[in-house]
Amino acid sequence: MGKKCPDCPECMPEWLAAFGDLMSLLLCFFVLLLSMSSMDAKKVSEAIGSLAGAMSVLEGGSKTEISKQRIQESTPIETQSESSEMVNRITEAISESNEMREKGKGPSVSLEESQDGFVIQLPASLLFKEGSAKIENEDALLFLKRIALIVGELPNDVEVSVRGHTDDTSPGRNSPYRDNWELSTARAIAVLEELMIDGIMPERLHAAGFSQYRPIASNATPE
């Protein structure tokens, strides 16, 4: 007569082991997410609300709703990306123009950021002869055409301000302009008209002349 097998000790149910593994994986998942993201109280609150609502453990499912402020804050990111791409294209155009100008050892085109956008500074010697407001340089015309193509791809609410400047030297007797006010304004209008020829709508353009009163440098030296 055989001996009776002893009763096996009770173990935890199989479903409980699977549930424990699932909770461990979820915990690791959220720890990884937290380590790869920035600590934002608003985001953490929304994440906790989402988890609590999905598992029906705690109240707070309404926290998963993305607020209007969150939507508004995310909107400028695309605009900033588009602006960065545009600035990169303009920087590339300026670099190519300056490489061509280095052969003639002339002044360089430059790009500066401002509060309302960015400013492209074109040296007068690249565009005009002394006391003149007529653009005759082919390199300058090609550069303006390329800038116009880039600006044309931007939204219509982006405006272009063309601003003319001069040094403190009089335009001269042979110039059709009486003073530097007329000369600087005429130069700005000349660039504006070229941009319109290259396809920019006139509603997006305006021109201004500053004469000699907003110089980028003094006239103490020829340079």
Nearest one of 78, 128, 136 to 107, comparing CA atoms: 128
Overall average pLDDT of the 32-47 stretch: 66
Helices within the chain (DSSP H only): 14-36, 41-55, 68-104, 124-127, 138-152, 180-197
The residue-averaged pLDDT of 73-98 equals: 65
| Ranges for all domains in the chain classified under CATH 3.30.1330.60 | 75-209
Residue with tokens 């690791």: 28
- For the segment 182-196, what is each residue's pLDDT rounded down to a tens digit? 999 999 999 999 999
Assign domain 75-209 to a CATH class: alpha beta
Closest among 82, 78, 188 to 133, alpha carbons compared:
188
pLDDT at 217: 78
Mean pLDDT, rounded, for 115-138: 85
- Tell which phi-psi region holds residue 105, choosing left (phi > 0), alpha (psi between -120 and 50) or beta: left
Mean pLDDT, range 53-72, rounded to an integer: 49
Confidence of residue 63 (pLDDT cuts 50, 70, 90): very low
What values do phi and psi take at 164, rounded to 5? -100, 145
* DSSP β-ladder status, 160-164 and 118-121: unpaired
Average per-residue pLDDT in the chain? Answer: 76
Q: Residue 150's CB: how many other CB atoms inside 10 A?
A: 15
